[in-house]
């Protein structure tokens, strides 16, 4: 359990189509400076939970509270101004725009001098992006593209970052790099929620984790507890866990 809760979702029922609930009573909590993972099978509702907390899916009942304020069903741009950044699972950069232009898009509300300062900060955090500011995002490698997507979300200096499958589609070397980036960002004080298919790797670096299954919480605990829980191993971590 955490003491200073930043973001809390309670008994969330949410879905896309009328009469079809995808989340059927989900609970989630993110503490100050925590790195929390969400794992579970395809279609479990992991992305839906992130989107429900970011105003992109209708919350039909339940509460989402950010820093003590009710935020369920607030539009996403209101959440950005309240310090939440979101990196979606797919299409998270504009391929025809340059790296620099993509970063600027993340902070168009700021003054030019502030934007320039934030871009410098992102170039320092992700040196590979710094070297490619004028290159089109569509020409980046998969790992660089994930860095750019995270960089864009970080332009507004969020206190909470929601990441949907940051390592998807990357080679093991790029995955390692992205996980190091995520740890680094977390160590600067940003609280992070990360949905991951790469369940073992995710739980190894997270403080706590949740397993979602069929729109509900199935298990939760410290990363270590989940990695060593025989039921979680058997159902969700597969043969890799026994290697």
Sequence length of the chain is 243
CB of 22 to ligand ATP, least distance (A): 4
CB of 48 to Mg ion, least distance (A): 8
Which partner, ligand ATP, Mg ion, none, binds residue 6 by CB below 5 to 8 Å per kind? none
x/- track of binding to Mg ion for residues 44-83 (CB under 5 A): --xx------------------------------------
DSSP state of 17: S
Q: Are 53 and 7 in contact (CB under 8 A)?
A: yes
Q: Choose one: 16-24, 38-46, 110-118, 137-145; the region binding Mg ion (CB under 5 A).
A: 38-46
Q: Which residue, 127 or 169, is less far from Mg ion as judged by CB?
A: 169
In angstroms, rounded to a whole number, what is the distance separating the alpha carbons of residues 72 and 182? 26
Binding site for ligand ATP (CB under 6 A): 16-17, 22, 40, 42-48, 89, 197
Q: Are 9 and 27 in contact (CB under 8 A)?
A: yes
Return the number of other C-beta atoms located less than 10 Å from residue 212's C-beta.
24
Residues 6 or more apart whose Cβ sits within 8 Å of residue 117: none
Query: How far, CA to CA in Å, does 203 sit from each of 1, 104, 122, 159, 198?
Result: 16, 32, 26, 21, 9
Q: Which residue is nearest to Mg ion (CB)?
A: 47
CB of 25 to ligand ATP, least distance (A): 15
Q: Which residue, 80 or 211, is less far from ligand ATP as judged by CB?
A: 211
Q: Which residue, 42 or 81, is less far from ligand ATP as judged by CB?
A: 42
- Name the CA dihedral angle for 71, 73, 182, 155, rounded to a multiple of 10 degrees: -80
CB of 40 to Mg ion, least distance (A): 9
Q: Which residue, 47 or 191, is less far from Mg ion as judged by CB?
A: 47
Judged by CB under 5 A, the number of residues near Mg ion is 2
Q: Are 190 and 160 in contact (CB under 8 A)?
A: yes
Q: Which residue, 46 or 132, is less far from Mg ion as judged by CB?
A: 46
CB of 90 to Mg ion, least distance (A): 9
Q: Which residue, 86 or 126, is less far from Mg ion as judged by CB?
A: 86
In angstroms, rounded to a whole number, what is the distance separating the alpha carbons of residues 49 and 42? 13
Which partner, Mg ion, ligand ATP, none, binds residue 17 by CB below 5 to 8 Å per kind? ligand ATP
DSSP state of 233: I
Which partner, Mg ion, ligand ATP, none, binds residue 22 by CB below 5 to 8 Å per kind? ligand ATP
Q: Are 138 and 95 in contact (CB under 8 A)?
A: yes
Q: Give the footprint of Mg ion on this chain (CB under 5 A).
A: 46-47
């Amino acid at each position: 359990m955490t003491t200073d809760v930043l973001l809390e979702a309670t008994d969330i029922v949410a879905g896309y189509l009328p009469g079809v609930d995808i989340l059927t009573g989900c609970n989630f909590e993110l503490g100050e400076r925590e790195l929390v993972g969400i794992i579970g099978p395809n279609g479990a509702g992991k992305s839906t939970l992130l989107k429900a907390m970011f105003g992109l899916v209708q919350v039909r009942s339940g509460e989402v509270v950010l820093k003590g304020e009710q935020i369920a069903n607030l539009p996403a741009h209101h959440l950005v101004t309240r310090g939440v950044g979101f990196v979606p699972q797919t299409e998270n950069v504009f391929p025809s725009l340059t790296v620099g232009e993509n970063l600027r898009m993340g902070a168009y509300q700021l003054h030019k001098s502030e934007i320039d300062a934030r871009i410098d900060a992102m170039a320092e955090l992700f040196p590979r992006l710094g070297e490619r500011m004028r290159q089109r995002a569509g020409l980046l490698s998969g790992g660089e593209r994930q860095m750019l997507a995270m960089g864009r979300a970080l332009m507004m200096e969020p206190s909470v970052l929601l990441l949907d499958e940051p390592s998807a589609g990357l080679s093991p070397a790029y995955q390692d790099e992205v996980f190091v980036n995520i740890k680094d960002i977390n160590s600067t004080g940003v609280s992070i929620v990360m949905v991951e298919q790469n369940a073992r790797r995710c739980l190894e670096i997270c403080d706590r984790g949740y397993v979602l299954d069929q729109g509900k919480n199935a298990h939760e605990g410290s990363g270590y507890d989940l990695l060593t829980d025989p039921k979680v191993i058997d159902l969700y971590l597969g043969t890799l866990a026994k290697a």
